[in-house]
Structure 1
Amino acid sequence: MLRIIAGSARGTVLEAPRGRNTRPTLGSTRESIFNVLANVGIIDTRVLDIFAGTGALGLEALSRGAAEAIFIDKATGSIIRKNAKKCHVEDKVKVLGGDVMRSLASLQGQTFDYLFMDPPYDRGFINKVILALFTYQLVDENSMLIVEHTTKEPIDWNSVADKCSVWKEKKKGATVVSYLLCRRQENL
């Protein structure tokens, strides 16, 4: 069962899509991510949850005091809305469906404090989406990009070296959670 771990919606059971190949971020991984972010601060932040699935990452952030979360997922918008209502944060949520790149483009110039990305593994999304975040100016100085990926699909560090630095990286088996501390890109 997928639950909110802490905060105002602690213990709320989230719905997950039935019969879809959705892989929610494990509770232990979410707990680890938010333990790391607790040291940086989550209160009153803006969150972008890309490939949101159930919305667990963004909803966990809202439960812990984030001010607003935008969710991008082409297939699970209705589930994210139901889960937001269950967590009593529907007024802080916006859900974008359809193509991920088009959704990111529609947000051009809006910046986020935390950008979560947990795409389908090994499908070539990681580096394309990271570059799109900078192209569409969705990061600001000290924005944190938290990317869950596999060791088979590493981040292309050469393409982001001038845009962000690795703040932390945690590996568990073949899964990696990379925390990238970003710099604002003014002239793209």
Structure 2
Amino acid sequence: AGTGNLGIEALSRGARKVVFVEKNREALNLIEKNLSVCGLKDRSEVLFKDVTQAIGRLKGRGERFDLIFMDPPYEKGLIDKTIGKIFTEKIYSDDSLVVIEHNRREPLPDITRSWNLIRQRRIGDTVVSFLTPLKKEENS
């Protein structure tokens, strides 16, 4: 979640709730501070967890999200692991948008069985990929 700026922006634009997942204590403290300063703590949740643990917890609570933003540390192989967990635990809705920020040297894993890549934007060494879940009839 880093500084939480994208989630805070979503809240300021009307998102009902944002769940931030961060496993770095300093970054987590900064997110909580930013939420307090902006008066948004009541519409947010900050999980101090590894992303796969957080996904399991969210699934256990029956949570589903319309927008999922992933910005994992670059070139650590976390995209494949995370997008796979999001898919298997189905914490997204049928019309969700998944946005992944990654380094251009770390291409997306093979997602064609589960996701549509609808757009990519390159900004220097960074690529932002936009995915939607395949519809059931597309997945057959």
Per the normalisation by structure 2, the TM-score is: 0.88
Percent sequence identity over aligned pairs: 39
- Structure 1 equivalent of residue 7 of structure 2: 58
Distance of 2:135 and 2:67 partners within structure 1: 13
Match of 1:107 among 51, 58, 79: 58
Please provide the CA RMSD for this pair.
Answer: 1.4
Structure number having the greater helix percentage: 2
Distance of 1:72 and 1:183 partners within structure 2: 25
1:131-184, CA deviations, whole angstroms, 9 ceiling, x for partnerless residues?
01011111111100000001111111x3x2132211211012221000001247
The total of aligned residue pairs comes to 132
Match of 2:104 among 151, 160, 165: 151
1:68 equivalent to 2:21? Answer no
- Structure 2 equivalent of residue 21 of structure 1: none
Distance of 2:135 and 2:54 partners within structure 1: 20
Distance of 2:10 and 2:128 partners within structure 1: 17
Q: Which structure 2 segments of 5+ residues have no match? A: none
**1:140–1:184 CA contact under 8 A, matched in 2:** no
Q: How does 1:1-188 map to 2 (within 5 A)?
A: 52-75=1-24, 76-108=27-59, 109-156=62-109, 158=110, 160-183=111-134
Structure number having the greater strand percentage: 2
Distance of 2:134 and 2:29 partners within structure 1: 34
- Structure 2 equivalent of residue 22 of structure 1: none
Amino acid at match of 1:68: K
Distance of 1:105 and 1:134 partners within structure 2: 11
**1:139–1:184 CA contact under 8 A, matched in 2:** no
Distance of 1:77 and 1:151 partners within structure 2: 27
Distance of 2:115 and 2:78 partners within structure 1: 18
What SS is found at the alignment partner of 2:131?
Answer: strand
Distance of 2:58 and 2:117 partners within structure 1: 25
Distance of 2:134 and 2:64 partners within structure 1: 11
Q: Which structure 1 segments of 5+ residues have no match? A: 1-51
4+ aligned runs moved over 3 Å, structure 1: none
Per the normalisation by structure 1, the TM-score is: 0.67
Q: Sort the Cα spacing of 1:184 and 1:100 in 2 relative to 1 into closer, same or farther, 3 A.
A: farther
Distance of 1:78 and 1:184 partners within structure 2: 38
